[in-house]
Structure 1
Amino acid sequence: MNIFDIHLHPAMQKPLEMGAYCTMVIQLVIFGMYLYNIKLRDINTKLLLHVSLIKFIITPLIAGVILFGLLNLEPMVATLIFIELVVPLAVTNVNLAALYECRPLDVTVLVFFTSLIFIPFFILISNLLHYLNIINLP
């Protein structure tokens, strides 16, 4: 729709926006319900460690070498792609795991902990990119 510059009538746009907001709320409610059911002794620490290692160490190292070393991209574009690669797992993953009965509690733990880890990790990465003169922070 963006490519062909198709605009929706405001009467159609408003219900779509309301539906989008409702689905976000429902996803967060489902996430909260699964988060409530987690017991600390049942957390799969091996899975959590492996996913965190891949998400916050291996992926950034490989992406950094490719984006900032091998490809000749504008620094801002490379930084945006890099940050997209290291964001935490999405709440939507919990809904998909629940829908397909694929360990939704484990996925909930992964989403929660990768979100917690991402906050200091993002500050560290931002400062590192600034220190390496890839981006300029105010």
Structure 2
Amino acid sequence: MKIPIPALVVPVVCLLLYFFVPGLRQRPWTTLRIAGGIVAIAGYFLFIAARLQLGRSFSVSPQAKQLVTHGLYARIRNPIYVFVGVMWLGVIVALHLYWLFVPFVMLLVLQLIRSDREAKVLQEKFGQTYLIYRKQTWF
């Protein structure tokens, strides 16, 4: 499977922020910044893994093509949402862009609304199978 093109946007945006936000490159790489970078990179690779595991079931609008329950989806119902959040937090800490907490909170709210809509669509299509899966997983 190929890495989805939109996923390549994330590292490009981070690099642009790093190189073009005034004063960002001059800040020292403290332990906290390094930890933030590690969290952001881990979140990014886990996001890519979740997207690849979702395969053809991925869609922009809520659809019930197939109930994916393997890989990261065996433990987390919405790993893409979780790891985008992890990645975002890592970027905030690594780049000291604390103003990004405002859109981050908005992102979390939108993800909760979206995950609720997706759950309804999946429950309609897969019924009891989805409810059992839901009880065995987090978010």
Q: TM-score, normalised by structure 1?
A: 0.36
Higher gyration radius (CA): 1
TM-score (normalised: structure 2): 0.36
